[in-house]
Amino acid sequence: DVKVTQSSRYLVKRTGEKVFLECVQDMDHENMFWYRQDPGLGLRLIYFSYDVKMKEKGDIPEGYSVSREKKERFSLILESASTNQTSMYLCASSLPWAETGELFFGEGSRLTVL
Amino acid sequence: AQRVTQPEKLLSVFKGAPVELKCNYSYSGSPELFWYVQYSRQRLQLLLRHISRESIKGFTADLNKGETSFHLKKPFAQEEDSAMYYCALRRTDKLIFGTGTRLQVFP
């Protein structure tokens, strides 16, 4: 069974703190993605990665960075958390697009920044 | 600009009624479109894709290039269809999503 696991389901952090959101997939997928999900705004792409040590900016990368040191793991980093980064963060993975065109999502990490 | 628009935030129907969730897109090439669904307390998952021309859980969606639409339809809604539905458009190797429509099916 396909599995994308986000290690933290709920986090509460203070403004200015550094935050790490971890995502691991067990499907040997090349592509990994980080989205944030907000009511009324849908899903917006933050960063994505096609391969180990590769990363590309999505539509809203400001205030975020990512790390992909191993194929199965894709981390989202908030260097200095701010209240407007309070959101649900979704990690996803996929095969190279031409093969299936399907994203597999994790359960999400709900981050609250006070 | 490539964009997906879902004009309805909320759609409420009674069980057995027809359902149509609207999705419009803007894309200069040949679009590849998807519907994703998120049931309560479950992860977001693929419902259907237009290239498959399939019916999943009684839902269908037809790509209308003239109207740039990809509306999701079901002739008879069930209570278990209550969920958040997102339309998505492929842009190179990424998906861009609409803002979502919450479907509520009342008994």
Cβ-Cβ contacts under 8 Å, B98 against chain A: 42
Cα–Cα nearest to B96, from A107, A44, A73: A44
3-state secondary structure A64-100: CEEEEEECCEEEEEECCCCHHHCEEEEEEEECCCCCC
pLDDT at position A2: 65
3-state secondary structure of A34: strand
pLDDT at position B31: 87
A44–B contact, CB cutoff 8 A: yes
AA identity, residue A50: Y
pLDDT at position A31: 93
Inter-chain CB proximity B32 and A105 less than 8 Å: no
3-state secondary structure of B104: strand
Cβ-Cβ contacts under 8 Å, B40 against chain A: none
Cα–Cα nearest to A20, from A32, A6, A31: A6
A33–B contact, CB cutoff 8 A: yes
B43–A contact, CB cutoff 8 A: yes
Which residue in chain B is spatially nearest to A43 when comparing CA positions? B97
What is the arithmetic mean of pLDDT over A108-113? 97
Strand partners, B7: none
pLDDT at position B73: 96
DSSP A15: T
Q: What angle do CA A58, A87, B10 make, to 5 degrees?
A: 95
Note the pLDDT tens digit of each residue in B19-30.
999 999 998 888
DSSP A7: S
Q: Residues of chain A with pLDDT > 70: what percent?
A: 96
Q: What is the mean pLDDT of chain A?
A: 93
Note the pLDDT tens digit of each residue in A60-73.
999 999 999 999 99
DSSP B29: S
Note the pLDDT tens digit of each residue in A19-53.
999 999 999 999 999 999 999 999 999 999 999 98
Does residue A57 register a pLDDT over 80?
Answer: yes
In this prediction, residue B93 has a pLDDT band, given cuts at 50, 70 and 90, of confident
Task: Report CA-CA distances (Å) from B4 to A17, A78, A98, A108, B33.
Answer: 34, 28, 21, 22, 10
pLDDT at position A83: 97
pLDDT at position B52: 79
Inter-chain CB proximity A97 and B90 less than 8 Å: yes
pLDDT at position A1: 67
In the block, residue with structure tokens 């209550």: B82
pLDDT at position A102: 87
pLDDT at position A61: 97
In this prediction, residue B53 has a pLDDT band, given cuts at 50, 70 and 90, of confident
Quick check: A31 and A7 in contact, CB under 8 A?
A: no
B10–A contact, CB cutoff 8 A: no
Does residue A99 register a pLDDT over 70?
Answer: no
Cβ-Cβ contacts under 8 Å, B46 against chain A: 102-103
Strand ranges in B1-107 using DSSP code E only, listed in sequence order:
3-5, 10-14, 19-21, 24-26, 33-38, 45-49, 60-61, 72-74, 83-91, 94-97, 101-106
How many interface pairs between A and B have CB atoms less than 8 angstroms apart?
A: 48
Contacts for A58-61: CB closer than 8 Å, 24+ residues apart: A58/A33, A58/A34, A58/B94, A59/B96, A60/A36
